[in-house]
Amino acid sequence: MNIIKAFNQTIGYIEENLTEKLDEKIIQQLSGYSFPLFSRIFSIMVGYPLSEYIRFRKLSCAAVDLRGKDERVIDIAFKYGYESPDSFTAAFKKFHGYTPNEVKKGKTFKIFSPILLSLNVSGGKNMDIKIEKKKGFKIAGIRKEVNENTNFPEVWNKLFSKVDSRILENLGNGQSYGACCNFKNKIEVLCEKNIFDYMAGYDVKDMNKAKEAGLEILEVPEAEYAVIKLKGAIPECIHEGWKYVTNVFFPEQGYKHAGTPDFEVYSEGNPESIDYEMELWIPVEKL
């Protein structure tokens, strides 16, 4: 099934269950992704987290209910999953600009409509993408739990403060990677941001030397990747690459993220330069 159609069906399920507990298994059946990975791909496609979308939809529907139905604020609060009227009122006022009681009495409120995804590319450019099977490899580095707003250079700075860059380059072939893995979002706790592990590291052949340096080892099995060549300053070129893959390449070519680690593959040069070149390796499988 086309990823756009699958995601729209998943969004439809979420829409029909705004007042109920969502089922991760149903989301996986509809979208083809685990809930954590669905959350991540969704945020890349639309530009903000799934949790924010659900929260805004609930607050929009809550305002409609308050204005059009004879229901108490406390009942509406519990209906849309808030633990108390106070927490509901705070979130409601932040979103609408007025309290629930003020909206109930006639103040204006915002409408946040359901999303309908479509393949719509305008003013963009085709990217150089090839499907390539990579043999298994190992990375030695440091791992940190992050979200999409984390300052990723800080992870690299921590690595370089721990181990000299010359030692890191001599662990293997000298290739540096930023690895994203272990996606952690859960339905029970709809996080504000997508949470996952980020590993800053280098190719490693000398395992003993890496362990002596206190580095963690990530073993990557053989896998098939979409290899995307990027040109431009970091992080903008990375964001553009992900946006193109999720919004254009996946729907057009019938691929999906395979759920295993994906990689930022760096090269020598100035990462702030508009001429900087690097690659994204995204594990893929056919729908």
Residue at 116 is within a domain:
no
The answer on 164 and 269 residing in a single domain is: yes
Round to the nearest angstrom and report the end-to-end CA distance of the chain: 6
Widest CA span of the chain, in angstroms?
Answer: 70
179: CATH = 3.20.80.10
Q: What is the mean pLDDT of residues 21-41?
A: 93
The answer on 264 and 165 residing in a single domain is: yes
pTM listed for this prediction: 0.82
pLDDT bin (cut points 50, 70, 90) of residue 186 is: low
The answer on 158 and 26 residing in a single domain is: no
Pick from 69, 104, 139: which residue ends a domain? 104
Stretch among 188-192, 197-201, 211-215 having the lowest mean pLDDT: 188-192
Q: Which domain range does residue 24 map to?
A: 3-104
The answer on 251 and 158 residing in a single domain is: yes
32: CATH = 1.10.10.60
Residue at 229 is within a domain:
yes
The answer on 190 and 58 residing in a single domain is: no
pLDDT, one tens digit per residue, over 113-128 is 999 988 664 444 578 8
Quote the pLDDT of residue 190.
52
The answer on 142 and 61 residing in a single domain is: no
The answer on 261 and 176 residing in a single domain is: yes
Of 88, 95, 4, 84, whose CA–CA distance to 52 is shortest? 95
**Bridge partners for 137 per DSSP:** 220
The answer on 134 and 84 residing in a single domain is: no
Residue at 154 is within a domain:
yes
Q: Kindly report the CA angle at 272 between 266 and 273, in degrees rounded to 5?
A: 95
136 conformational bin, left if phi > 0, alpha if psi -120 to 50, beta if neither: beta
Residue at 17 is within a domain:
yes
Residue at 112 is within a domain:
no
Quote the pLDDT of residue 281.
98
Residue at 151 is within a domain:
yes
What's the total number of domains in the chain? 2
**Bridge partners for 145 per DSSP:** 197
pLDDT, one tens digit per residue, over 44-58 is 999 888 999 999 999
